Amino acid sequence: MDTVIIDGLSFMMPLLCIAVGGIYSERSGVTNLALEGLLGAGAFVGALFVAFFGKLFPETSSAPMYFAMAASVVGGAVYAMLHGLLCVKFRANQVISGVVINILAVALTTFLTREINSGVFQAPSDKIQLGVSPRFDVPGLSKIPVLGAVFKSVYPFQVVILVVIIIAWYALYRTRFGMRLRACGDNPHAVDAAGINVQRTRFLAVMISGALSGLGGISFAYSFSANFSASIYVGAGYLAIAALIFGNWKIVPTVGACLLFGLARSGGYKLVQLLALPSSYSDLIMILPYVVTLLLLIFFSGTNRAPRALGEIYDKGKR
């Protein structure tokens, strides 16, 4: 049971970070199917920092990981500007923009990873080594039966993401900026009439979405295989989109959706081990969170209420 909870949380926290990024974008009115590409681009920038500067730090130092997180936040935000420019500035179709950005991110990061490895490091590989992330137990709390597993073998990025999510929740629901952002997704003309720049608010929301996605992307890289490659995050962005939809574009319910997906994944792996099934069944278990997604879609899609102006291109001249 402890293993299911530990592994489930290590998958859930990066997924939640990405999903909250999607909430920021979509609550502002910009449909963001580009989460997959944003998390990949952000993680790539963080991995590049480790590749070029990681050797400057002692082998036992955790500093490269934290710098990689910061670089991923910046990288994801910068790459998200492309989606913001296309959707907000040039009023492109938001769905098509998201799909194109996802495809571009996978192709670009794969190509650049291979070229940098072969040209700079003389190592023909499509992966960037990051190193193993340290883990720790919370004294006292980790000794509690069953629930103590929440505080065992904790990745540092889980703590960082938890703090970021709390800040993101407060900013979205308890600040004037958050109120304006949410209003942009429901009634942008009223926001404009109040003298607030709708396009600027939406563009900033998309950048925040990219920053959070980048943080989630590098966290996935550290937790999955201690290296970066385009294959590690395939599907995570779309799973985050499903989570935020099931969470009704609200942060707290989205936490529950991400936890469900995380436990479904880790529970499936544990079931394969208990039944002593061939290793090929572990790959089959990878689809379990998506099966859960389909089931939730069947039973709960009728209760979802998207922001009223989600996906609508804002035209100041229309009322």
Residue 90 DSSP code: S
Give CA–CA dist 118/148, Å, rounded: 45
Q: Which two tokens stand for residue 246?
A: 């099931």
Average of per-residue pLDDT across 28-45: 96
pLDDT at 159: 96
Domain positions in the chain: 2-237
Indicate if the pLDDT at residue 83 is higher than 80: yes
Give CA–CA dist 43/212, Å, rounded: 11
- Dihedral sign, Cα of residue 68, residue 71, residue 76, residue 82: negative
Angle at 272 between CA 268 and CA 278, to 5 degrees: 135
pLDDT confidence band for 318 (50 / 70 / 90): low
pLDDT at 24: 98
Indicate if the pLDDT at residue 281 is higher than 70: no
Give CA–CA dist 75/213, Å, rounded: 10
Q: What is the pTM of this model?
A: 0.94
In the block, tokens 């103590």 appear at 148
CB 230 within 8 Å of CB 36: no
Give CA–CA dist 273/247, Å, rounded: 31
Indicate if the pLDDT at residue 267 is higher than 90: no
Give the three-class secondary structure for 185: helix
pLDDT confidence band for 317 (50 / 70 / 90): low
In the block, tokens 């769905």 appear at 95
pLDDT in tens, 137-176: 988 888 888 788 899 999 999 999 999 999 999 999 999 9
pLDDT in tens, 209-237: 999 999 999 999 998 778 898 877 778 89
Q: What pairs with residue 136 in β-bridges?
A: 154
pLDDT at 195: 92
pLDDT at 271: 77
pLDDT at 32: 96
DSSP letters for 140-164: TGGGSTTGGGGGSSB-HHHHHHHHH
Give CA–CA dist 314/199, Å, rounded: 8
Indicate if the pLDDT at residue 60 is higher than 90: no
Question: Among 124-133, 266-275, 280-289, which is the least confidently predicted range?
Answer: 280-289
Give CA–CA dist 213/102, Å, rounded: 13
Q: Which two tokens stand for residue 266?
A: 């880790």
Closest CA to 244 of 223, 265, 267, 216: 216
Question: What's the mean pLDDT when you consider all of the chain?
Answer: 90
pLDDT at 279: 66
Comparing 75 with 319, the larger pLDDT belongs to 75
Indicate if the pLDDT at residue 277 is higher than 80: no
Nearby residues of 116 by Cβ (< 8 Å), 6 or more positions away: 48, 51, 128
